[in-house]
Amino acid sequence: MSEAFPGLPPPPPPSPARDASAVILWRPGPRGTEIFWVLRSTKLGFAGGFRAFPGGRLDPADREVEVAGLAGEDAAHVACAVREVFEETGVLLAVGPPVSREDRRLAREAMLDGALSLADFLRDHGLAVEGARFHPAGRWLTPEFVPVRYDARVFLARLPEGEEPEVWEGELVHGELLPAADALARWSSGEALLHPPNLHAIRTLTRLAPEEALPVLRAPPRMDARHVTDWIEFQEGVFQAPLRTPTLPPAAHTNCWLVELASGSGAGLAAIDPGSPWEEEQRVLEALLAAHAAQGRPLREIWITHEHRDHVGGAAALASRHGAPIRAHPECIARLPAEARSHARPLADGELLHGRWRALHTPGHARGHLAFHDERTGALFAGDLVSTLSTIVIDPPEGDMGVYLSSLERCRALSATSKLGGLFPAHGSPAPDGRAALEGAIAHRHARTAKVLDALAAGPGTLEEITARAYDDTPPAIHPLAARSCLATLELLRREGRAATSGDRWSATGQGS
């Protein structure tokens, strides 16, 4: 089960975008332009584990800061940039008398605690902000499918002489100055994941001097009038095409991942899970595929993680339009609609695609479920093995909790036997640390199993009663869905001899009915 059904609450509407600013701090270096990037904590709800530039949300108090040469929203965004850079790195992008290291430390702590405003700090030390030091370098609006959204202004600012950025661990893990070319190389290898604004900036500064880069920075690829781009390449050769599908809330989309297969004469893409059955969404995908084909990357193959409708709804039509084979596990192929089966070719567990992509049989959510592991970069395309939006439903009889846990463990073991990089799910944003994402899913299942055992210990009950006890931290409207995973857990406990049934009532082993 991964499709919506009557009675479930609808997915939430798109969240409003929050005004924000980000700053590309740069300086000249012996090997070209150097940039300062930070590593965001995995605990953050937006872009956790990603590399980024210093920046953050606009604070109402930023509108009270005077910025020489600017007014209104332009001034407020520059003030936000100054404050965020100071809070996150200690770098002071203001002019005036020198501020001692100790005074900076105290002011930074007070600003992070909300006890001091930027305006007061500047006034107390006779400092001023000059708008001319901040060069507008683009505006980016987070797409509507992302749960947390920003309307971010990006600025290019030279790191002042004598300033040394210092990240305090918290929302950020660390930061470093490095040549833009080195940052790009880390992204290319899969070591660092980047959101489009940061990738575009780094790519541009790798080939252009900062003064020459501004026109390019302000004109990202495939940017519409709203400042939204559909060119989302988190890792080199890995593109996200989120399509609206009839899936389970809180998701409203299924990620169709476009992965680059090879270069030269074999160049092309595989589309993983083109799941939307709706023509308007298929047109969205076709427009993106046309842009790739124009750059020498035509669609070559379609890979399916499993047969649920929100993963295969557009596969047959896409295969027909492009003459591309559908590759899937035999058990998945047997359940595909007839029009899709006619294009299908089976994939065996362990089969290596294009010398790089290993197909891994990972049942539990669906019997024919596959994940695809990139042995070059470690990227794992997980389908419905893990979601970064919510918990995967395990729905008996097809779903099996014990088998599902074994699949999670198998993929986690890749970090010991091979290479495990980022995890790219069908629902939600990528998790840059794939091992941590898998361990989180495993820990969640064990914690939920403990709650089911506690629910049984409270006394025998029907599935609905046990679910209500074990999922008391879940909205009641979701309990019919939670009951399916609860049943899968109960059946695992029964196999292990820790639960029993009598009629429609479940109990802990040894309890009466």
* Residue 228 buriedness (CB in 10 A; 0-12 / 13-18 / 19+): middle
Q: Which of 340, 333, 332 is nearest to 314 (CA)?
A: 340
pTM, two decimal places: 0.94
Q: Which of 44, 466, 5, 29 is nearest to 246 (CA)?
A: 5
**What is the structure's pLDDT at 510?**
74
8 A C-beta contact, residue 396 and residue 484: yes
Q: Which of 308, 261, 263, 313 is nearest to 285 (CA)?
A: 313
Q: What is the pLDDT along the chain (513 residues), one digit of tens a residue?
A: 465 556 666 777 889 999 999 999 999 999 999 999 999 999 998 899 999 999 999 999 999 999 999 999 999 999 999 999 999 999 999 999 999 999 999 999 999 999 999 999 999 999 999 999 999 999 999 999 999 999 999 999 999 999 999 999 999 999 999 999 999 999 999 999 999 999 999 999 999 999 999 999 999 999 999 999 999 999 999 999 999 999 988 889 999 999 999 766 578 999 999 999 999 999 999 999 999 999 999 999 999 999 999 999 999 999 999 999 999 999 999 999 999 999 999 999 999 999 999 999 999 999 999 999 999 999 999 999 999 999 999 999 999 999 999 999 999 999 988 899 999 999 999 999 999 999 999 999 999 999 999 999 999 999 999 999 999 999 998 899 999 999 999 999 999 999 999 999 999 997 755
8 A C-beta contact, residue 406 and residue 364: yes
| Cα distances (Å, whole numbers) of residue 47 to 147, 156, 388 | 11, 21, 12
**What is the structure's pLDDT at 1?**
47
* Fold classification of 232-346 (topology level): Metallo-beta-lactamase; Chain A (3.60.15)
Q: How far is CA 260 from the centre of its chain?
A: 19
Q: Which amino acid is at 493?
A: L
* Fold classification of 18-217 (topology level): Nucleoside Triphosphate Pyrophosphohydrolase (3.90.79)
How far is Cα 129 from Cα 479, in angstroms, rounded to an integer? 54
8 A C-beta contact, residue 101 and residue 39: no
How far is Cα 140 from Cα 231, in angstroms, rounded to an integer? 12
- Whole-angstrom Cα Rg for the chain: 25
How far is Cα 58 from Cα 20, in angstroms, rounded to an integer? 5
Q: Which amino acid is at 77?
A: H
**What is the structure's pLDDT at 311?**
97
- Max CA separation in the chain (angstroms): 81
- Contacts of residue 328, defined as CB under 8 A and 6 or more positions apart, other chains included, come to 303, 304, 307, 336, 344, 346, 347, 368, 370
**What is the structure's pLDDT at 8?**
63
How far is Cα 378 from Cα 394, in angstroms, rounded to an integer? 26
Q: Residue 152: enclosing H or E segment and its boundaries?
A: strand 150-158
Across 369-509, the runs of DSSP E, i.e. the strands, are 370-374, 380-383, 423-425, 461-462, 499-502, 505-508
**What is the structure's pLDDT at 418?**
85
| Cα distances (Å, whole numbers) of residue 134 to 25, 94, 210, 308, 473 | 10, 11, 12, 49, 47
Q: SS3 letters for 187-220?
A: HHHCCCCECHHHHHHHHHHHHCCHHHHHHHHCCC
Locate 163 and state its tokens. Answer: 């300033």
Domain boundaries, the chain: 18-217, 232-346, 453-508
How is 272-292 classified by DSSP, letter by letter?
A: E------HHHHHHHHHHHHHH
- Which CATH architecture group holds 453-508? Orthogonal Bundle (1.10)
Q: Residue 26: enclosing H or E segment and its boundaries?
A: strand 18-29
